[in-house]
DNA sequence: AGCACGCCGACT
DNA sequence: GTCGGCGTGCTC
C-alpha cells in the first residue's frame, strides 16, 4: 500500500490516513492492526478521544504524528469502499467551499447503520409436519403458506389475518422450516425498455443530442424548455441508456418529498419507482438506499441535494431537474450549491451531467450560450397543451375592496372559472394569516425575541410565529405594551387571510390552503394534491410549494396575488427569482389543452420583470439580465464569496468583521465590501455581519479568502465565521 | 463536531 | 458548602 511508510518488513504495523468527521484540515493517522485490511476508501471505526467514530481510509501520505498518539483502527466495516472518484469529489468540495474535508466526508457517512450488511431476515416455509391440534386460525395460516414460497413471520400472520402468536405456535411445532432470506432490494431494477415513449420530433432531436448522436454525449447539457414541453421524457431516455450500460443514475430534484408526480412518471416509463433519498425518509429505508447505492443494487436514485453524497458504486449519469431552484443551495455547515457540485461530480467521474429547467439560472444560460454546455431547447408544449394567456391587473386602477387583497377583476375571473366547473389557483408566497401584527393604540409591533423579523400570525393555530427560528407564542388578546384589549390589527396578507377573503366571496366553493407548514405533513400534502388533480377542489390558495411540478389538469386560472413581492429588495438575483417563480406558477395552468389564463396583480406594471413575464418575451429578459450581470462583473462574469460573522453580542460580531476586513490582503483583481449588517441582522439570538469578496472570473477567490482568514486574529468567544462561496445574494 | 476540563453564581 | 453555567482546548 502506497500510503503506509515503507519500513523493513516484519515488525511494524502499517499507518494509514483516516478522514474523521471533524473540522480538522487533514486526515488523522491510525495504525492498522495485524490481520486487518484497510485500503483507501474503506470505511473504518476508529477511536477518537473518548469515543468511537466512523471514518474513511484516505489516500496519500500520512502526516507526521507523535507515535505515542497513534492508536489502532478498531474495526473495518464490511462495506464496499468509497470509490476513488467519490473521494476526489469530497476533496474537491472541501477545497472549493473552504470547508474542512472531514466535515465534507461526514456528509457521505450519514447512514451509520448501513456500514455493515443488513442481517438476513428469517423466512418461513411450510414443511411436512402438521400441528397436533388444528384450529381455524392455524388452517388459514397453512392455507396461505401452501404456495411453498417463503414468508416472514409478520407478513404471513398479516396475510392470514391472524396474530403473530399463531404463526409462532406453528413454528414451535416444526410446521415451518426456517430459511434465511437475503436483504431485498429497496426497489426493483428499472427496466429501460418497460414502455418506450412516443416523442415529438423536437423531443427526438433533443434525445439524439443528449446521447451524443452516436458519438460521446456532451459533458454537460442544459435542457431548456417551457413547462409542459416534455423535458422529463427527454432525459428519461438518457437514464434508460445509462441503465442499459449497467451504470447507476442520480436524479436531483428540489424538495423531493413533495414531487410524487415525478415518481409516478418514472414508474410509467421504467416499470417501477426510483429509490428516494431525502430528509423525511424513514431511517430503515435510508440505510437500505445508502447501502444499496454502495453495492450497486439500487440503479436509480431520485433525491434532494444531499443525495450527491451517496456512495454510488458505479455512477454513470447525474441529472439536475429544475436546476435554477434555490433549494439546491445548502447554507449550513458546508455551504454548497448542489447544481454546481453535480457538474463537478460528473466531471470527476468522467460521465455526463444534464441540467433541466423551464427558466434556467443566468449562470447555466450563459454556459449554454457560450457553448460550454450543450444547448438543448424544447420550445413547444407537448400534446396540444398551451401556455396560459397572461394579463396584468394594475392594482392602482383596479384596487381591491377595503380590507381585501383581491381586485374585482380577479374575483370576476374566479367566479367564471368556478361556475364552469374548473379550478383556480391563487398564489401568494407568504405563509400564515398576516406578516405583521401591531397595536392600533400604542403602535407596538410583535417582533421575534431572537431574530430581526416580525412575528407572523397563524390564525388557524392561534399563534404568532417566527419564520426564521421557529419561536412561537399564543396569539395575544391584549397589547403587551399598553394592555389595551381588542386593538391589535393584522397588517398585510398571508395565504390564510386570502383564504378568508375567498370564503367570503365564494362560500360554497371547495377551497384549500397549501403551504409547507400544513398540518399532517408530507403525507397529507400528497393526498391533497391528488384530490386537487381529481377535481375535488375548486380554489387552491398556495405558497411556492404549489409551483413545483404538480399537474392539475382542471386548473384554468392562476392568480398571482402579489407579483411585486419578490422585487422589494434590489438584489439582481431577486429579479431572476421572481421571473422563475412566476413563470413556474403560471405554467401550472392549461396543461391539458383547455384554454387558460394567468392574472398578475401588480402595483408596478411597467417593471421589466413583470413585463418579461406577461409579454412572454423570455429571451429579451435573459438578454437584459445577462448584460446587467456582465456590466457589473457579477457571476458568472465575476466571482463572489460572502463571509458571515456572527456572535451572541452585536459589538463583538461587528468588531470581528472589521478586523477580518483589515486582514484582507491587497489585490488588483479582488475587492472587499462591508462589513454591513447581514440582511437578517439577528437570527436565533446571534447578530450577523457580512463581508462580500468580489473578484474577476479569473480570480482565485478561495486562496484570497483563505489568506484573509489566516491573517485575521482567531475568533474569540461566541464569534463564528461562515464562508459562502458563490452566495445566493449579491448584496 | 463532540466532549472534558475549568472557573464563577444560586440553591438543596 | 455543592450543582451547573458555557468559554477553551483537544481529538491521530
Position A336 scores a pLDDT of 97
Helix, strand, coil % over all residues of chain A, rounded to 5: 30, 25, 45
Q: Which 8-37 positions of A have CB less than 7 A from strand C?
A: 22-24, 28-30
Strand B, nucleotides < 7 Å from a protein CB: these are 1-4
Position A161 scores a pLDDT of 86
**pLDDT(A258) > 70:** no
**pLDDT(A4) > 50:** no
Helices A164-172, A153-160: axis angle to 10 degrees equals 120
Cβ-defined contacts of A329-336 (< 8 Å, 24+)? A329/A728, A330/A305, A330/A306, A331/A724, A331/A728, A333/A99, A333/A103, A334/A93, A334/A97, A334/A99, A334/A103, A334/A104, A334/A107, A335/A97, A335/A99, A335/A722, A335/A723, A335/A724, A335/A725, A336/A93, A336/A96, A336/A97, A336/A305
Q: Is A170 left (phi over 0), alpha (psi -120 to 50) or beta?
A: alpha
Q: What is the tens place of the pLDDT at every residue in A425-455?
A: 999 999 999 999 999 999 999 998 888 899 9
Q: What is the tens place of the pLDDT at every residue in A234-248?
A: 999 999 999 999 999
Position A177 scores a pLDDT of 83
Position A2 scores a pLDDT of 35
Is A491 annotated to bind ligand? no
Q: What is the tens place of the pLDDT at every residue in A156-196?
A: 888 888 888 888 888 888 888 888 887 778 889 999 999 99
Cell of A186: 429497496
Q: What would the mean pLDDT of A532-552 be, rounded to a whole number?
A: 87
Determine the Cα–Cα distance for residues A360 and A596; give it in Å rounded to an integer: 24
Q: Give residue A385's pLDDT band: very low, low, confident or very high (50, 70, 90).
A: low
Position A721 scores a pLDDT of 92
Position A604 scores a pLDDT of 94
Residue A194 neighbours by CB distance under 10 Å = 13
* Ordered DSSP codes for A702-714: HHHHHHHHHHSPP
Q: What is the tens place of the pLDDT at every residue in A467-516?
A: 988 888 999 989 998 989 889 999 999 999 999 999 999 999 999 999 98
Strand C, nucleotides < 7 Å from a protein CB: these are 6-8, 10-12
Position A3 scores a pLDDT of 39
Position A135 scores a pLDDT of 87
Position A594 scores a pLDDT of 74
Q: What is the tens place of the pLDDT at every residue in A38-78?
A: 999 999 999 998 889 999 999 988 888 888 889 999 999 99
Position A549 scores a pLDDT of 63
Q: Give residue A257's pLDDT band: very low, low, confident or very high (50, 70, 90).
A: low
Distance in Å from B9's C1' to A647's CA comes to 23
Residue A5 neighbours by CB distance under 10 Å = 9
Distance in Å from B7's C1' to A447's CA comes to 36
Q: Give residue A616's pLDDT band: very low, low, confident or very high (50, 70, 90).
A: confident
A302: closest CA among A346, A337, A258?
A: A258
Is A272 annotated to bind ligand? no
Q: What is the tens place of the pLDDT at every residue in A117-140?
A: 988 888 888 888 888 888 888 888
Q: Beta strands A315-321 and A248-252: pairing type?
A: parallel
Is A482 annotated to bind ligand? yes
**What pTM did the predictor assign?**
0.92
Q: What would the mean pLDDT of A106-121 be, rounded to a whole number?
A: 90
**CA–CA distance from A255 to each of A110, A329, A358, A429, A544 (Å)?**
19, 12, 17, 16, 11
Return the percentage of chain A with pLDDT > 70, whole number: 97
Nucleotide nearest to A100 (CA to C1'): B1
Mean pLDDT of chain A: 90
Structural contact between residues A285 and A113, judged by C-beta atoms closer than 8 angstroms: no
**pLDDT(A350) > 90:** yes
Q: Which 326-365 positions of A have CB less than 7 A from strand B?
A: 333
By residue count, chain A amounts to 731
Q: What is the tens place of the pLDDT at every residue in A560-610?
A: 999 999 888 778 888 899 999 988 888 888 767 678 899 999 999 999 889
Contacts of A682 (CB under 8 A, 6+ apart): A450, A451, A452, A688
Q: What is the tens place of the pLDDT at every residue in A188-229?
A: 999 999 999 999 999 999 999 999 987 899 999 999 998 878
Q: Beta strands A315-321 and A51-57: pairing type?
A: unpaired
Q: What would the mean pLDDT of A716-723 be, rounded to a whole number?
A: 88
- Please state whether strand C lies within 7 Å of residue A61 at its CB atom: no
- Please state whether strand C lies within 7 Å of residue A718 at its CB atom: yes
**pLDDT(A724) > 80:** yes
Q: Is A523 helix (H, G, I), strand (E, B) or coil?
A: helix
Position A640 scores a pLDDT of 97
Distance in Å from C2's C1' to A68's CA comes to 38
**pLDDT(A699) > 50:** yes
Q: What is the tens place of the pLDDT at every residue in A288-331?
A: 999 999 999 999 999 999 999 999 999 999 999 999 999 999 99
- Please state whether strand B lies within 7 Å of residue A67 at its CB atom: no
**pLDDT(A250) > 80:** yes
Amino acid at each position: 500500500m502506497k500510503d503506509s511508510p515503507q519500513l523493513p518488513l516484519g515488525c511494524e504495523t502499517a499507518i494509514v490516513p483516516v478522514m474523521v468527521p471533524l473540522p480538522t484540515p487533514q486526515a488523522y493517522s491510525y495504525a492498522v492492526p495485524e490481520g486487518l485490511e484497510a485500503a483507501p476508501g474503506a470505511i473504518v471505526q476508529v477511536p477518537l478521544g473518548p469515543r468511537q467514530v466512523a471514518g474513511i481510509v484516505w489516500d496519500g501520505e500520512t502526516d507526521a504524528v507523535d507515535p505515542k498518539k497513534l492508536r489502532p483502527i478498531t474495526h473495518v466495516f464490511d462495506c464496499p469502499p468509497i470509490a476513488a472518484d467519490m473521494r476526489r469529489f469530497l476533496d474537491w468540495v472541501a477545497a472549493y467551499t473552504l470547508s474542512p474535508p472531514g466535515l465534507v466526508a461526514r456528509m457521505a457517512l450519514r447512514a451509520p447503520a448501513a456500514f455493515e450488511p443488513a442481517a438476513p431476515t428469517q423466512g418461513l416455509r411450510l414443511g411436512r409436519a402438521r400441528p397436533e391440534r388444528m384450529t381455524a386460525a392455524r388452517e388459514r395460516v397453512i392455507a396461505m403458506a401452501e404456495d411453498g414460497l417463503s414468508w416472514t413471520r409478520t407478513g404471513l400472520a398479516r396475510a392470514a389475518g391472524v396474530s403473530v402468536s399463531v404463526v409462532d405456535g406453528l413454528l414451535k411445532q416444526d410446521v415451518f422450516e426456517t430459511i434465511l432470506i437475503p436483504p431485498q432490494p429497496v426497489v426493483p431494477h428499472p427496466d429501460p425498455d418497460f414502455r418506450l415513449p412516443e416523442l415529438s420530433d423536437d423531443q427526438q432531436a433533443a434525445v439524439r443530442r443528449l446521447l451524443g448522436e452516436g458519438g460521446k454525449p456532451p459533458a454537460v447539457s442544459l435542457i431548456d424548455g417551457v413547462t409542459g414541453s416534455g423535458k422529463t421524457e427527454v432525459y428519461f431516455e438518457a437514464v434508460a441508456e445509462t441503465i442499459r450500460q449497467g451504470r447507476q443514475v442520480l436524479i436531483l430534484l428540489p424538495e423531493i418529498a413533495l414531487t410524487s408526480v415525478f415518481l409516478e412518471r418514472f414508474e410509467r416509463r421504467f416499470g417501477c419507482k426510483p429509490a428516494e433519498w431525502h430528509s423525511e425518509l424513514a431511517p430503515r429505508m435510508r440505510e437500505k438506499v445508502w447501502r444499496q447505492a454502495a453495492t450497486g443494487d439500487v440503479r436509480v436514485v431520485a433525491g434532494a441535494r444531499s443525495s450527491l453524497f451517496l456512495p454510488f458504486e458505479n455512477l454513470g449519469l447525474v441529472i439536475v431537474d429544475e436546476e435554477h431552484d434555490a433549494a439546491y443551495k445548502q447554507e449550513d455547515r458546508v455551504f454548497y450549491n448542489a447544481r454546481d457540485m453535480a457538474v463537478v461530480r460528473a466531471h470527476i467521474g468522467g460521465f455526463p451531467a444534464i441540467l433541466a429547467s423551464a427558466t434556467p439560472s443566468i449562470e447555466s444560460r450563459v454556459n449554454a450560450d457560450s457553448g460550454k454546455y450543450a444547448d438543448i431547447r424544447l420550445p413547444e408544449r407537448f400534446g396540444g397543451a398551451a401556455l396560459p394567456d397572461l394579463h396584468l391587473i394594475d392594482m392602482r386602477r383596479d384596487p381591491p375592496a377595503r380590507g381585501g387583497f383581491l381586485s374585482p377583476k380577479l374575483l370576476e375571473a374566479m367566479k367564471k372559472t368556478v361556475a364552469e366547473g374548473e379550478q383556480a389557483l391563487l398564489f401568494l408566497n407568504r405563509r400564515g394569516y398576516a406578516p405583521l401584527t401591531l397595536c392600533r393604540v400604542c403602535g407596538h409591533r410583535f417582533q421575534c425575541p431572537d431574530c430581526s423579523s416580525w412575528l407572523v400570525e397563524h390564525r388557524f393555530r392561534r399563534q404568532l410565529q417566527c419564520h426564521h427560528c421557529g419561536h412561537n407564542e399564543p396569539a395575544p388578546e391584549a397589547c403587551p405594551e399598553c394592555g389595551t384589549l381588542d386593538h391589535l390589527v393584522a397588517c398585510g396578507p398571508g395565504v390564510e387571510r386570502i383564504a378568508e377573503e375567498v370564503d367570503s366571496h365564494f362560500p360554497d366553493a371547495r377551497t384549500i390552503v397549501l403551504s409547507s407548514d400544513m398540518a399532517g405533513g408530507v403525507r397529507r400534502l400528497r393526498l391533497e394534491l391528488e384530490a386537487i388533480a381529481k377535481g375535488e377542489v375548486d380554489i387552491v390558495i398556495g405558497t411556492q410549494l404549489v409551483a413545483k411540478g404538480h399537474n392539475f389538469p382542471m386548473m384554468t386560472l392562476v392568480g398571482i396575488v402579489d407579483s411585486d413581492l419578490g422585487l422589494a429588495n434590489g438584489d439582481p438575483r431577486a429579479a431572476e427569482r421572481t421571473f422563475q417563480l412566476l413563470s413556474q406558477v403560471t405554467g401550472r395552468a392549461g396543461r391539458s389543452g383547455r384554454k387558460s389564463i394567468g392574472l398578475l396583480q401588480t402595483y408596478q406594471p411597467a417593471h421589466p420583470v413583470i413585463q418579461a413575464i406577461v409579454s412572454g418575451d423570455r429571451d429579451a429578459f435573459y438578454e437584459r439580465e445577462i448584460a446587467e450581470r456582465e456590466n457589473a462583473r457579477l457571476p458568472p462574469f465575476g466571482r463572489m464569496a460572502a463571509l458571515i460573522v456572527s456572535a451572541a453580542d452585536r459589538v463583538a460580531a461587528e468588531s470581528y468583521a472589521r478586523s477580518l476586513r483589515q486582514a484582507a490582503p491587497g489585490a488588483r483583481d479582488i475587492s472587499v465590501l462591508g462589513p454591513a449588517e447581514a440582511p437578517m441582522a439577528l437570527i436565533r439570538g446571534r447578530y450577523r455581519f457580512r463581508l462580500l469578496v468580489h473578484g474577476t472570473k479569473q480570480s482565485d477567490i478561495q486562496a484570497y479568502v483563505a489568506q484573509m482568514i489566516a491573517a485575521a486574529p482567531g475568533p474569540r468567544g461566541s464569534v463564528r465565521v461562515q464562508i459562502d462561496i458563490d452566495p445566493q445574494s449579491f448584496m
